[in-house]
Amino acid sequence: MITPEIYNALQQWAINVVTLAKANLQDAGRIATGTLYASIGYEITPDGDINFFYEDYGDYVESGRKPGSRMPPIAPIAAWAKVKGLPQFRDKKGRFLSNEQRGWILAKAIARDGFRPVRFFSDAFDLAIQEYPIEKIEQAIEKQIEDQFNNI
């Protein structure tokens, strides 16, 4: 069980990571529906472990896709294209393709060409480790150890 001081120090650091990750997404222009942005969060366990979480597809945003990889699911790509306001495609006769057909074309292009990663979370995590004054956490832990020895 961790003390309130340790919990507060860990919470401040976790909030910093989440804030930086959201800023990275925003700076990269990778917010369409806002679902990934809104899903970034954390929880601190009673043992002091910090678990960060976000939507599953955030892993693909984080790591990108290599060219020649499997085709991603069509429905989310079609929905994304609609939200982003991408223009409708036309067939050889000049007729507009459906949103699902546009999604299939985009998914096929992603499978063929891949896309660059946006390291929104790992960069935020690394920066938070470098910038956060770790002394706050160390002092809280030292205080907890001292209190435990004084109570023996």
Same structural domain for residues 52 and 85?
no
Q: Which of 38, 18, 31 is nearest to 61 (CA)?
A: 31
Residues, the chain: 152
Same structural domain for residues 75 and 127?
no
Report residue 94's pLDDT band, with 50, 70 and 90 as the boundaries.
very high
Q: Rounded to an integer, what is the distance from CA 65 to the centroid of its chain?
A: 15
Same structural domain for residues 5 and 50?
yes
Q: Whole-structure pTM over 0.75, yes or no?
A: yes
Q: Which of 146, 151, 130, 124 is nearest to 5 (CA)?
A: 146
User: Are 61 and 36 contacting, i.e. CB atoms less than 8 angstroms apart?
Assistant: yes
pLDDT recorded at residue 135 = 75
Buried b (16+ CB within 10 A) or exposed e, 47-59: ebeeeeebeeebe
Same structural domain for residues 22 and 50?
yes
Same structural domain for residues 143 and 71?
no
CA 63 – CA 112 distance, rounded (Å) = 16
Same structural domain for residues 126 and 83?
no
Longest Cα–Cα distance of the chain, Å, equals 85
Beta strands in 10-99 (DSSP E): 41-44, 50-53
Q: Mean per-residue pLDDT for 63-75?
A: 93
Instruction: Identify the DSSP state of 94.
Output: S
User: Are 140 and 3 contacting, i.e. CB atoms less than 8 angstroms apart?
Assistant: yes
Report residue 116's pLDDT band, with 50, 70 and 90 as the boundaries.
very high
Q: How many domains does the chain have?
A: 2
Same structural domain for residues 53 and 15?
yes
Percent of all residues in the chain with a pLDDT value above 90, rounded to a whole number = 65
- The parent domain of residue 101 ranges over 67-115
Report residue 137's pLDDT band, with 50, 70 and 90 as the boundaries.
confident
Mean pLDDT of the chain: 90
Report residue 136's pLDDT band, with 50, 70 and 90 as the boundaries.
confident
Same structural domain for residues 56 and 6?
yes
